[in-house]
Structure 1
């Protein structure tokens, strides 16, 4: 059984993110991509446009001294331009660490990621870590 093309796109995106390859990742996103981050922490909210999304990724790295990483667990496609990913995020920040299950609901338009809606298993824990 071969992987759905939308899942393959998201898998390549996770790989590029993990390698810090923003140039490659930028080719997978629309110019007006939006990433929605849950909660009420300093990184929460709507990050609109490729530059704003990459600034979010830069801040994830800076805030955690480069320890932020995700391990992709599963991808699900609906065949209509949506993919759900499930991953475990890990990071250290100051004297705190976090390991938390998250998911992203992706919208894909014309073979590119146009929307990422992040969900987390514990918004309060996530907010506390990023505060």
Structure 2
């Protein structure tokens, strides 16, 4: 059985992220897509518009000196424009490392991502790793 197109879209996004292919990620999102990151750290908030989302992704790499990685564990579409993806992420920041389970909940319209809600296993630990908001 073929993979649902929404699940394939999310897999393509994860693959592009892992390769640092921001142009492919840009092509998978609507111009006004919003990414919601939990917590109260410098990496938390609502990032509206594909340019702001890509800047946010760049910050993930910058703050971890390029060590930030995501390992996709599963992709689960509902067939009605939503996909839940679960992953493990890790990175190093200074003398501190982190590894955590998490996930993204995607809303998809017309074959493009329109909204992405991020969840993490431990918001307080994630906040401590990223540091306080400026």
TM bucket by the smaller chain?
over 0.9
- How many residues of Structure 1 are paired with residues of Structure 2 in the alignment? 131
Structure 2 residue aligned with 1:73: 73
Q: Pairwise CA RMSD of aligned residues?
A: 0.5
Unaligned runs of 5+ in 1: none
- Determine the C-alpha separation between the residues in 2 that align with 1:23 and 1:127: 28
Structure 2 residue aligned with 1:10: 10
Q: Calculate the TM-score normalised by the size of structure 2.
A: 0.97
SS in 2 for 1:113: strand
- Determine the C-alpha separation between the residues in 2 that align with 1:79 and 1:57: 27
SS in 2 for 1:73: strand
Post-superposition offset of 1:3: 1.0
Deviation track 1:56-93 (CA, whole Å, cap 9, x = no partner) reads: 00100000000001000001010000000000001000
Post-superposition offset of 1:109: 0.7
- Determine the C-alpha separation between the residues in 2 that align with 1:31 and 1:124: 31
Please show how residues 75-94 of structure 1 align to structure 2 within 5 Å: 75-94=75-94
Which contiguous aligned blocks of 4+ residues in structure 1 show a shift greater than 3 angstroms? none
Post-superposition offset of 1:118: 0.1
Unaligned runs of 5+ in 2: none
Q: Calculate the TM-score normalised by the size of structure 1.
A: 0.99
Structure 1 residue aligned with 2:31: 31
- Determine the C-alpha separation between the residues in 1 that align with 2:25 and 2:122: 27
SS in 1 for 2:61: helix
